[in-house]
Structure 1
Amino acid sequence: MELNQDTLTYEADPLECVEQAVIAEQYAYERDDTELHIAVPGAWRDHQIWFAWRPELDALHICGSLELKVPEKRFREACELVNRLNERLYLGHFEVWSEDGSVIFRHALAVPGGEGISPAAAAGLIGAAKEAGERLYPAFQYLIWGGKSVSESVSAAMFDTAGEA
C-alpha cells in the first residue's frame, strides 16, 4: 500500500484517518460515529476487522475476528494455544472469548488529546491485524478441526516459507 502523505490530512478523529487508509486500499467498509468495519481480502478468507474510537479513554481499538468458534471440549487447549502464539506477536494479541468461544485479535492505540493518527499508521494497524490472522489462522484450524495438539498446531503455524510454489 502506498499512501501519498501530501494529499492526506491528519484528523483529530482517528476514525477519519482509518477511513482514509481504507479508501486508499479500496476495501469494502461501513462506518458510523464510533466504529468502522472493513473486509480485507486474505489468503484463507476475508478478514473482518473493525475499529472503535473511545474518546473517554483517548483510545483507538482494533479488533479482528478469525470467525472461528472453539468447541467447549477444546477451550482449555485453545487458551494454551493463544498463550503460545501471543508470545510471538509484536503487536496486539489473540483471545478466546469465554461467552461463545470466538477467536479474536485485539490491539489498542492511545491517541491522547485528540491528536489523531496518520493514515499510514492506520494502514499499519490494518496490516498487523491481517498479518496476524493470516499467519496464525492455520494453528487454530489444526487444533480445532484437525485434532492436533497445541505443540503440533504452533509448529505448523510458525514456519516461514521462502518464495512461492
Structure 2
Amino acid sequence: MDVDDFESVRFSGTPIDLLEQYFAAHGWTHDRQGDEEIVAQYQGSWAKYELRAVWREEDSVLQFLAFPDIRVTTDKRSAVYETMGLINEQLWLGHFELWQSSGLVLFRHAALLERSDEMVLTLDQAETLIETAIDECERFYPVFQFVLWSDKSPADALASAMIETRGEA
C-alpha cells in the first residue's frame, strides 16, 4: 500500500495498527512489539530517528517518542537541561527531555483518545503526532549540537540555530 492508497483507507483496530500501516505506507523500517508498542526508523536531515509509540488502553493514551540520537555526557547535562528549558518554552505540542539513566535526549508527546467501544486514532491525529515529533527534532537538533560540540551557551546556541535563511546559495 502506498501513501495515496493509505489516505483513503478506513481503519479499525488499535492505534498501533494504524501506525503500523502508516509506517509501511511510507516505506519506513518498523517493528511491532506486541499490541501496545511499535518502533520505526526515520532518516532525517540531521540524524536517523527512532520513533516509538506506546498505547495504554487503560488510560486511552497514545504516547509518541522520537529519539534524535543525541547522548549527553554527565558533564554537559546541566547545559542541556537549560537548553531544553529554552526550547520547551517555544513548543506548542510535546517537549524535550533527558533520560538520566542513559543520557538520551528525546522528544515526547501524547494523545488522549476518546473513550468509546473502540479507541479511534484518526489519520490526521497520527500525522500530527509523527510530523510534530520529526519537525521539532529536525528544528532543534542543531541547538543541542552547538551546546554539546561547540560549547556555545544554550541561549547562543538557540539564537544561532534559529536564524532563518532566505534565498539560495
- Using the size of structure 1 for normalisation, the TM-score is 0.90
Instruction: Give the structure 1 partner of residue 19 of structure 2.
Output: 18
Q: What per-residue deviation string (whole Å, max 9, x for no partner) do you get for residues 66-90 of structure 1?
A: 2212121221111110010011112
Residues 6 and 25, structure 2, Cα contact 8 Å, conserved in 1: no
Instruction: Give the structure 2 partner of residue 148 of structure 1.
Output: 152
Instruction: Give the structure 2 partner of residue 49 of structure 1.
Output: 51
The 5 A counterparts of 1:1-165 are 3=4, 7-32=8-33, 33-113=35-115, 114-165=118-169
TM-aligned CA deviation for residue 121 of structure 1? 2.0
Q: Which amino acid aligns with 2:28?
A: Y
Name stretches of at least 5 consecutive residues in structure 1 with no aligned partner. none
SS at match of 1:69: coil
CA separation of 1:123 and 1:3: change in aligned 2, threshold 3 A:
farther
Q: Which has the higher contact order (CA 8 A, sep 6+)?
A: 1
Q: Which amino acid aligns with 2:78?
A: R
Structure 1: how far apart are the matches of 2:86 and 2:141?
14
Structure 1: how far apart are the matches of 2:152 and 2:141?
14
TM-aligned CA deviation for residue 3 of structure 1? 4.8
Name stretches of at least 5 consecutive residues in structure 2 with no aligned partner. none
- Which stretch has the larger CA shift, 119-128 or 148-157? 119-128
Q: What per-residue deviation string (whole Å, max 9, x for no partner) do you get for residues 3-28 of structure 1?
A: 55773123241111112221221111
Residues 59 and 112, structure 1, Cα contact 8 Å, conserved in 2: no
Q: What per-residue deviation string (whole Å, max 9, x for no partner) do you get for residues 97-156 of structure 1?
A: 222321110001001323311123212211111101111001000101111111111112
CA separation of 1:70 and 1:6: change in aligned 2, threshold 3 A:
closer
> Aligned-residue CA RMSD in angstroms?
1.9
- Using the size of structure 2 for normalisation, the TM-score is 0.88
SS at match of 2:144: helix
CA separation of 1:164 and 1:38: change in aligned 2, threshold 3 A:
farther
Structure 2: how far apart are the matches of 1:89 and 1:162?
23
